[in-house]
Amino acid sequence: MKEAQKILAETFGYETFREGQEAIISLILAQENSLGIMPTGGGKSICYQLPALMLDGLTLVVSPLISLMKDQVDALNDMGIPATYVNSSLNYQEVSHRFGLAARGEVKLLYVAPERLESPDFLEMVRHTRIDLLAVDEAHCISQWGHDFRPSYLKLAETIQVIQPKPTIVALTATATPEVAQDISKLLAISPENQIKTGFARENLAFQVMKDQNDIYLIEYLKMNQGQSGIIYASTRKEVERLYRLIHAENLSVGMYHGGMSEVERTKNQELFSYDKLQIMVATNAFGMGINKSNVRFVVHAQIPGNLESYYQEAGRAGRDELPSEAILLYRPQDVQIQQYFIDQSESELEYKQHEYEKLREMNQYVHTQMCLQRFILRYFGEEGEDCGRCTNCLDDRESVDITVDAQKVLSCVKRMDEKFGKALIGKVLTGSKDQKISQWRFDQLSTYGIMKHLSQKEVNHLIDFLTAEQLLVPSKGQFPTLSVSATGVDVLLGKEKVFRKQVMVRKLVQDDAL
């Protein structure tokens, strides 16, 4: 590793390796396949760029980010490293010229988009070139369970078979749940002990969940943060346009970005935002991969996204410069239905859809948990962490109230309904609703029927959401989940565990001087 250290200093100009870099580079140099999971900005590129300089053959980099390829290659060339890229922006002659450079060993790194892997000229190049290292960037795109699955990535496993002798593989990603990591490892033949994962926590981000806020809140927030750079994400083009008009009418500096706009317009807006000529960007998730702006102070999700991977990746675009920044999620229950609709409408197979519903449910639990929000996210990615002390839950100083008895009422009702029904009907039984379905199933005969009739249906639903987020209730898979009681839930029923919840304080309306 001494030589690697030397190249790090002399070529890249860095004194020390960042967390994870050295471990990955050692594995590559030992010709072992590896998977690096590092946060955005963590320094993944050096993990393959540096060994590329130490290997005799070519390093082939597969990346879906066409817009970033040129920047990366330019940066490498500036450092005196011969590198090139091939993508759809080039004509046939240029492509074959560049493949020629690779085959003759005149470049150390060649970047290609995954779509290229099947083209005859690419396969021809592969046959004449010694490829020592294959770097797969954004490797989560290979997994069907990832949030950004790309069918073209699946061809990768086949392409690898064509490359002889077999190259060493390094897969890199910033977002992988344990399940996605396992999938990548299986597809690319990476043994589990060669998985290098660095801390996911973002010390400078304050996560916030705001329930039932309206446009006024958003405008107030933007006015308070005037002069700062920020992104507002919405789920649909229509909502992006609506928010854009709303913010524009307030004379704030704002642009928009979504897939329905022309490429010229999109590029223009992205550039204006990059160069701080526009302060706020309202966008769908089409505005994303490859934004390299470091001083984004806030990312507001005006609508809930479909899963926590997308959320963490999008929210993580705030505060790349490591200065304090905010990641705010505005929650309205009807926005969950938009995501549900996206899944319903997709033409994917049933198993995949069920998975997507489950991810959406976990996203929804993020909104209802009272746990530290950063810790909740880390746990989703299979990591333990400390309370951040910055998120809305950590800063919530309302008193925790013992709600064990209420929790027991809900849990025992779920048990009495044989754990075969969903939230809506459970809520109706607890509040003593006269719904036909209830008499039909004879749930009005249960001892828990109407046991919470002093509460509204909405309050009881919130309580059920809370108990689900606390993992006392477990939803089944599929579009219409039924709820069952978890092992910890059973302990609560048996009185072995207590449940605490921060409650909204109801202010006394009687005036003291009237007494």
The residue ranges that bind ligand ADP (CB under 6 A) are 14, 17-18, 21, 38, 40-46
CB of residue 41 vs ligand ADP: minimum separation in angstroms? 5
CB of residue 255 vs ligand ADP: minimum separation in angstroms? 24
Residue 138 or residue 465: which is nearer to ligand ADP going by CB? Answer: 138
CB of residue 15 vs ligand ADP: minimum separation in angstroms? 7
Torsion sign across C-alpha atoms 334, 209, 353, 424: negative
CB of residue 202 vs ligand ADP: minimum separation in angstroms? 13
Residue 21 or residue 284: which is nearer to ligand ADP going by CB? Answer: 21
User: In angstroms, rounded to a whole number, what is the distance separating the alpha carbons of residues 88 and 90?
Assistant: 5
My answer on whether omega of the bond before 165 falls inside 30° of 0, hence cis, is yes
Q: Are 373 and 209 in contact (CB under 8 A)?
A: yes
Residue 72 or residue 448: which is nearer to ligand ADP going by CB? Answer: 72
Three-class SS of residue 49? Answer: helix
CB of residue 119 vs ligand ADP: minimum separation in angstroms? 26
CB of residue 9 vs ligand ADP: minimum separation in angstroms? 10
Residue 48 or residue 331: which is nearer to ligand ADP going by CB? Answer: 48
DSSP annotation of 445: G
User: In angstroms, rounded to a whole number, what is the distance separating the alpha carbons of residues 202 and 333?
Assistant: 27
**What's at 189, amino acid-wise?**
A
- Which residues are registered as beta bridge partners of 482? none
Residue 319 or residue 489: which is nearer to ligand ADP going by CB? Answer: 319
- Token pair of 324, please? 């304090």
Residue 139 CA, chain-centre distance (Å), reads 14
Using Cβ positions, the residue closest to ligand ADP within the complex turns out to be 43
Q: Are 492 and 468 in contact (CB under 8 A)?
A: no
User: In angstroms, rounded to a whole number, what is the distance separating the alpha carbons of residues 237 and 283?
Assistant: 8
CB of residue 13 vs ligand ADP: minimum separation in angstroms? 8
Output Rg (C-alpha) for the chain, integer angstroms. 26
Q: How far apart are the first and last CA of the chain?
A: 80
Residue 71 or residue 121: which is nearer to ligand ADP going by CB? Answer: 71
HSE-CB at 429 with a 13 A cutoff on CA atoms is 29
In order of 169, 192, 368, 510, the CA distances from 189 in angstroms are 9, 9, 38, 69
Contacts of residue 140, defined as CB under 8 A and 6 or more positions apart, other chains included, come to 146, 147, 148, 173, 175, 176, 180, 184, 309
Residue 173 or residue 279: which is nearer to ligand ADP going by CB? Answer: 173
Residue 44 or residue 423: which is nearer to ligand ADP going by CB? Answer: 44
Residue 42 or residue 255: which is nearer to ligand ADP going by CB? Answer: 42
CB of residue 325 vs ligand ADP: minimum separation in angstroms? 16
CB of residue 306 vs ligand ADP: minimum separation in angstroms? 23
User: In angstroms, rounded to a whole number, what is the distance separating the alpha carbons of residues 308 and 381?
Assistant: 9
Residue 17 or residue 376: which is nearer to ligand ADP going by CB? Answer: 17
CB of residue 14 vs ligand ADP: minimum separation in angstroms? 4
DSSP annotation of 11: I
Residue 41 or residue 288: which is nearer to ligand ADP going by CB? Answer: 41
CB under 8 A, 24+ apart: contacts of 455-458: 455/430, 455/431, 456/431, 457/427, 457/428, 457/431, 457/433
CB of residue 218 vs ligand ADP: minimum separation in angstroms? 29
- Token pair of 127, please? 């046959």
- Which residues are registered as beta bridge partners of 131? 58
User: In angstroms, rounded to a whole number, what is the distance separating the alpha carbons of residues 199 and 311?
Assistant: 17
Report the b/e string of 244-255 with b at 16+ CB within 10 A: bebbeeeebbbb
Residue 322 or residue 402: which is nearer to ligand ADP going by CB? Answer: 322
Residue 40 or residue 236: which is nearer to ligand ADP going by CB? Answer: 40
CB of residue 400 vs ligand ADP: minimum separation in angstroms? 39
Contacts of residue 131, defined as CB under 8 A and 6 or more positions apart, other chains included, come to 57, 58, 59, 60, 163, 167
Report the 3 state secondary structure along 409-444. HHHHHHHHCCCCCCHHHHHHHHHCCCCHHHHHCCHH
- Token pair of 77, please? 């060339």
